[in-house]
Amino acid sequence: MIPTPAPRLFSPATLAGLAAILLWGLLALLTAQTAGVPPFLLTALTFMIGGGAGFIWLVFRGRLALLKQPLTAWLLGVGGLFGYHAVYFAALKAAPPAEASLIAYLWPLLIVLFSGFLPGERLKISHFFGAILGFGGVVLLAFSKGGFGGAGEAALFGYALALLCAFIWALYSVLSRHMAKVPTEAVVGFCLATALLAAIAHLALEPQGLPTSPAIWGAIALLGLGPVGAAFFLWDIGMKRGDIRFLGVAAYAAPIISTLALILAGRAEASIALLIACALIIGGAIIARV
């Protein structure tokens, strides 16, 4: 009798989503190397690099036709990528960055909750509890760095923008499941359109001038190829064909990976709060996988 092979713990699509989370964990470290570059300029340059690399790949593969997608796919893709970053930057300008980032990081919890409305998906209490544990880890990490400090009208407006930011990315991620027939290669077009919109925003809202330091350009290139490039293609695969609820919980690992990367690079210090936050997030991911 031929033994039945043991089921794989993760599908290739879920592993792709986890790889995206790992790349996003390097976002803070690489962004720290681009000090002085205006946000929308950085967005334009990195998305141009990521989208440009994908465009070259499509040309060599003879698959440019894949960019011809329905208007709804373009609205979702560009709205998700550019909308998230535009609102996120606006939130960071109006409210204290640490607190605004924490609120924006409600999107993994929202993904878990919204996934319950997808066809064929069923939200269990373990998914919800795992997401809450993961968010608790991020909250602990944030409060260990100072907690909420701003409460003025501008800060409250910034917090509202951060919450909107969380909804934008969660809806983009979950609704991608409904666009399963849209090939991941179409993200190339979404990235290039995002780069164009970000460039327009830069010219209209920010002081102009390109970086001159080779080190900064190196960091921009790595950002464009990794956290702001390959990560979005991998995330698209994970959202369309992977375990969306588990990936929602696992996404809370990104700020932990980010903090660990900063510690290894000598830009942050280890703490008990970090260890506890890691335990909460890992525990939440394990519970969500049950």
147 — pLDDT class (breaks 50, 70, 90) = low
Residue 119 has what pLDDT? 73
**Span 119-141, pLDDT tens digits:** 776 777 887 788 888 888 877 77
**Span 72-123, pLDDT tens digits:** 999 999 999 999 988 988 887 777 766 777 778 888 888 888 887 777 767 7
Residue 162 has what pLDDT? 85
Given a cut of 60, whether residue 148 has pLDDT beyond it is: no
The string of DSSP letters for the chain reads -PPPPPPPSS-HHHHHHHHHHHHHTTHHHHHHTTTTS-HHHHHHHHHHHHHHHHHHHHHHHT-GGGG---HHHHHHHHHHHHHHHHHHHHHHHHS-HHHHHHHHTTHHHHHHHHHTTSTT----HHHHHHHHHHHHHHHHHHHTTT-----SHHHHHHHHHHHHHHHHHHHHHHHGGGGTTS-GGGHHHHHHHHHHHHHHHHHHHS-------HHHHHHHHHHHHIIIIIHHHHHHHHHHHS-HHHHHHHTTHHHHHHHHHHHHTTSS---HHHHHHHHHHHHHHHHHH-
- As a whole number, the mean pLDDT across the chain is 85
